[in-house]
Amino acid sequence: MLPEIIFNLHRPHERITELMEITGCTYMFRGPWFSDMRVLNTADPANVNYIMNTNFSNFPKGSEFLKIFDILGDGIFNSDSDLWKSQRRSSQALITHQRFYKFLVKTIHDKVTKGIVPVLDHVCKQGIVMDMQDFFQRFTFDATCMLVTGYDPGCLSTEFPKIEFAEAMDAAEEAIFHRHSWPETIWKAQRMLGLGQEHKLKKAWETLDRVVAEYISRKREERDQRLESKNEEEEGVDLLTSFMIEADAMASKSSADKFLRDTILNLMLAGRDTTSSGLSWFFWLLSENPKVWTKIREELKAIIPPNEGSNWRLFRTEEVNKVAYLHAALCESLRLYPPVPFQHKAPLQPDILPSGHRVDPKMKILFSLYSMGRMKSIWGEDCLEFKPERWISERGTVKHQPSYRFMAFNAGPRTCLGKEVAFTQMKVVAADIIHNYQIEVVKGHPVAPSASIILHMKHGLKRLCFLHLFSVAERRLPDTMRSTIWLLGVDIRRKNEGPSPSDKIGTQTIGDKGTAKSGKPLYFKGSTFHRIIPSCMIQGGDFTLGDGRAEESIYGEKFADGNFKLKHTRPIGKGNGCCLGSNCWCGLAVMSSALHFAGEAKKLLRIANVSDKYTICTYPADPDQIY
């Protein structure tokens, strides 16, 4: 089977899925004759339930797992039996504590307001093509580091700094995946000779050990300073502080340091990579399914209090926990692209699985979670479709799926302790981005799973044109003033997208009024405004002079300046407007998908001497996203 490994090393998950379809969800894989490598791959829910629940005690991680994941030491991922039970019990007590939950909520809020929003604003302003996968990894790395150690490494910032700890984790994950793919004799030979992935793993290991040791040392110094100042030591909020209390009872400092090192590394791996992977695939699926994006946005609008309108806002954790469709969409994304694409087990005693396959202690058993989400026998004929509706019950609530069918958070006694932490992070981040921004994937960007123990995107997720749905100025207004400003979308349609449902708006957007004197077509594409009517209106579209002072517009050759006697007293759907006072509606019709809009708008407002009266807004380029 060695040629099979080599030939499909660039697409392992897809090839395993193909074999699952052919063999009926379970098959035996044999390595070269000299390796004694036997692996049972399965995506059969009956087998999974038997191994993870019914006969759990006979299927630990095993010594083979410990060899492959040796970099994780004796942490909760590698441990079995009594050691695992002890670690899980203490970790569960800390993670489910109300004090930690409050710290989680505060941490997410801080990273959104001080990390996500400034970076996205920067991207909007500069017109940068950004890798969303890297963006989410930076967010989850910072958030996880704060939750685990109490320190913010500042990875998510407009400078996009390189973080050696994060890069070392990436290298380690790739090397561990290769250990799964090759016979033990081969990767051990590479390790001895310092070749290939094993050489990278050695360097990564050194980096991870050094950085974790620095975190532990710094935390100890803080504790010593508190004791010297005779301040009473409080119960730790971050997990490192809490675990240090447990480490104090150990026989030696070296034992305590190893315990803390292994614990931190395991928690960092769990928190950083799985959540960022889930968010990356989720937003890619949304870009491929814009109707789902729209439906989530409508659901979020429905939970906003009426007195707030539909303005720019960030959502609280208690708010996003109420929305069923967003939760369903996240589950559907995790079904198709589980962050951990496979699980590894080894039987202690010979056994017979429900599928009839015999297993023994010399075999490895792999669950392919990636394949499970693509089996027609489990999810039906439409299993490859992204359909959040499959998770919604007739009552509109989220359907429960047994963990042996949906293993994104593991199953049985080893169910992920951080499940609610992950969902909380993903929901808040997804809601804040979906409600406030519109994004586009770079055309032609290749998307495929990477060969890693975490289901990253091989080429990242390149995204272009982050468009603000609401103005930067508006979100800074106090609540009493914010209610006087209404931001309305304009039905924007590119020239090649056909006519708009509204003939008038269609005239504005597809340019069927012919050309201006300058020869320019009278449509919005490539332009900023028609003109400015001082103290009254800015109109969107093309213009002749390029500074808003021209006479031509799509409404006709001449459009006289002046104040209208009849004024709107409320927003008009598919219209435009910016309220400058009580019962005074002055239009701000923005028709541009250009990233340089904000700067151009400010320039034109200065020319008209009305810059103090207008709020700068941009709107999404997709007409289906208009409110």
pLDDT in tens, 136-182: 999 999 999 999 999 999 999 999 998 899 899 989 988 998 888 78
CA pair distance 96, 259, nearest whole angstrom: 21
Q: What is the pLDDT of residue 144?
A: 94
Please indicate, yes or no, whether residues 504 and 419 belong to a single structural domain of this protein.
no
Tell whether the model's pLDDT for residue 505 goes beyond 80: no
- In sequence order, the β-bridge partners of residue 550 are none
Please indicate, yes or no, whether residues 510 and 565 belong to a single structural domain of this protein.
yes
Residues 6+ apart with CB under 8 A from 522: 511, 513, 514, 515, 516, 541, 542, 552, 553, 554
Residues 6+ apart with CB under 8 A from 163: 138, 141, 153, 155
CA pair distance 599, 605, nearest whole angstrom: 10
Please indicate, yes or no, whether residues 425 and 494 belong to a single structural domain of this protein.
no
Q: In this structure, how many other beta carbons lie within 10 angstroms of the beta carbon of residue 32?
A: 15
What is the CATH number for 363?
Answer: 1.10.630.10
Stated pTM of the model = 0.74
- Average pLDDT of the chain to the nearest whole number: 76
458 compared with 600, residue with greater pLDDT: 458
Residues 6+ apart with CB under 8 A from 243: 90, 94, 236, 259, 260, 263
Please indicate, yes or no, whether residues 133 and 281 belong to a single structural domain of this protein.
yes
- Give every strand in the sheet of 26-30, ordered side by side: 26-30, 38-42, 364-368, 342-345
Annotated binding site for heme: 416
Per-residue tokens: 63? 């010594």
Please indicate, yes or no, whether residues 371 and 488 belong to a single structural domain of this protein.
no
Q: What is the pLDDT of residue 334?
A: 98
Q: Using alpha carbons only, what angle is made at residue 158 by residues 155 and 161, rounded to the nearest 5 degrees?
A: 40
Please indicate, yes or no, whether residues 374 and 507 belong to a single structural domain of this protein.
no
Q: What is the pLDDT of residue 58?
A: 96
Per-residue tokens: 555? 């409404």
Q: How far is CA 226 from the centre of its chain?
A: 38
Tell me the residue range of the domain where 544 lies. Answer: 470-627
In the chain, the percentage of residues whose pLDDT exceeds 90 is 48
Please indicate, yes or no, whether residues 443 and 553 belong to a single structural domain of this protein.
no
- Per-residue model confidence as pLDDT tens digits over 89-109: 999 999 999 999 999 999 999
Q: What is the rounded average pLDDT of the residues 306-317?
A: 82
Please indicate, yes or no, whether residues 399 and 477 belong to a single structural domain of this protein.
no
- Per-residue model confidence as pLDDT tens digits over 417-472: 999 999 999 999 999 999 988 877 777 788 999 888 899 999 999 875 455 555 44
Please indicate, yes or no, whether residues 317 and 448 belong to a single structural domain of this protein.
yes
Categorize the per-residue pLDDT at 594 as very low, low, confident or very high, splitting at 50, 70 and 90: very low
Please indicate, yes or no, whether residues 348 and 404 belong to a single structural domain of this protein.
yes
- Per-residue model confidence as pLDDT tens digits over 41-95: 999 999 999 999 999 999 998 888 889 999 999 999 888 888 899 999 999 999 9
Q: How many alpha carbons lie under 13 Å from residue 456 in its C-beta half-sphere?
A: 23
Domain tally, the chain: 2
Categorize the per-residue pLDDT at 121 as very low, low, confident or very high, splitting at 50, 70 and 90: confident
- DSSP secondary structure letter of residue 344: E
Annotated binding site: 416
